[in-house]
Amino acid sequence: MNQQARHRPLPSLSARHEDPHSYPAGVAYLDGQFVPVSQAKVSVLDYGFLHSDATYDTVHVWEGRFFRLDLHIERFFGGLERLHMSIPFDREGVRQILHDCVALSGHRAAYVEMLCTRGASPTFSRDPRDAVNRFMAFSIPLGSIANAEQMQRGLHLVISDRVRIPPASVDPAVKNYHWLDLVGGLYDAYDRGGETALLLDFNGNVAEGPGFNVFAVKDGRLATPATGVLAGITRRTVFDLCTETSLFCEARTVSVPELRSADEVFITSTAGGIMPVTIIDGAPVGTGKVGPITMQLKDLYWDKHRDPLWTSPVHYP
């Protein structure tokens, strides 16, 4: 390096890199104690970090009540079993930890996650059976895939050419952090003027997006992709709401042309609930406005957040 280059001042960091230790307010649980989220750390040798070898589940709290918590816990334990992981807590123990994370954080609207990583091996063995699995949980303020404006006028979605990881490779019933295909799809969407993305399945049909399932409405009938997707809890909730309202809803193959020609399209996620889509690949969906069935289900979905059969209260200190 020449003398001039050695003394050349380093370029200033962009705003997003100024504070690498900035975190949302919240409480985490790990290693037997509750700590501020900013103090929750994972080893660089943890296979959850190095290999994305982990499973998780997320549930939300709205107006101080968990929504369908039992279903999320059940799916989490199913993921543990499929990945040959174990934690030192039963379902009730996990429920209590999640409750305490929220209660200690004070959040009345919260995004709550339970997760287990493969952990690390004391000898850095490549045999996953040698790793000590690690359970963690946290509560932070609730966020949404769609912001307030997008919820009002509908999301602008782009269908990426990327193929979602096929179920023959990774079981989609197990929530995981294998998101590089989804993140690539997001950048495809951004490059084409969209706000979020849908990926395709291994047969070129519609699959899912980054953290959400998708529904198409045509002539009053609903359809959502059946294979190659996570069976989301909010997706399941739509089926339950359709049963209550006598709407026809089925899980089956959904082609790209079918989605584009739908009367209404919406996506579903714990992070946002039922969210309308009004533009796909630059073209309007139906009338280009949020449709009546989407609105009906969305309103009913949020009404259920006050139903004691669907929710459980947080007892704050």
One DSSP character per residue, 262-305 reads: -SEEEEEETTTEEEEEEEETTEESTTSS--HHHHHHHHHHHHGG
Quick one: pLDDT band at residue 22, thresholds 50, 70, 90?
A: confident
Where does 23-141 sit in CATH, by number? 3.30.470.10
Q: How far apart are CA 160 and CA 72, in angstroms?
A: 29
pLDDT tens column, 94-146: 999 999 999 999 999 999 999 999 999 999 999 999 999 999 999 999 999 99
3-state helix, strand, coil in the chain (%, to 5): 30, 30, 40
Task: Encode pLDDT of 274-288 as tens digits.
Answer: 999 999 999 999 999
Angle, nearest 10°, between helix axes 233-245 and 69-82? 140
Please identify which residue in the block is written with the tokens 């929710």.
311
Q: What is the pLDDT of residue 6?
A: 42
Q: Is 231 exposed, middle or buried (0-12, 13-18, 19+ CB in 10 A)?
A: middle
- Give the residue extent of every domain in the chain: 23-141, 148-305
Residue 72: pLDDT above 70?
Answer: yes
- Whether 156 and 149 have beta carbons less than 8 Å apart is answered as no
pTM over 0.95: no
- Segment 136-159 shows an average pLDDT of 97
CATH classification code of 148-305: 3.20.10.10
Q: Round to whole Å and give the CA distance between 178 and 52.
A: 6
Residue-wise pLDDT for 183-213, tens only, equals 999 999 999 999 999 999 999 999 999 999 9
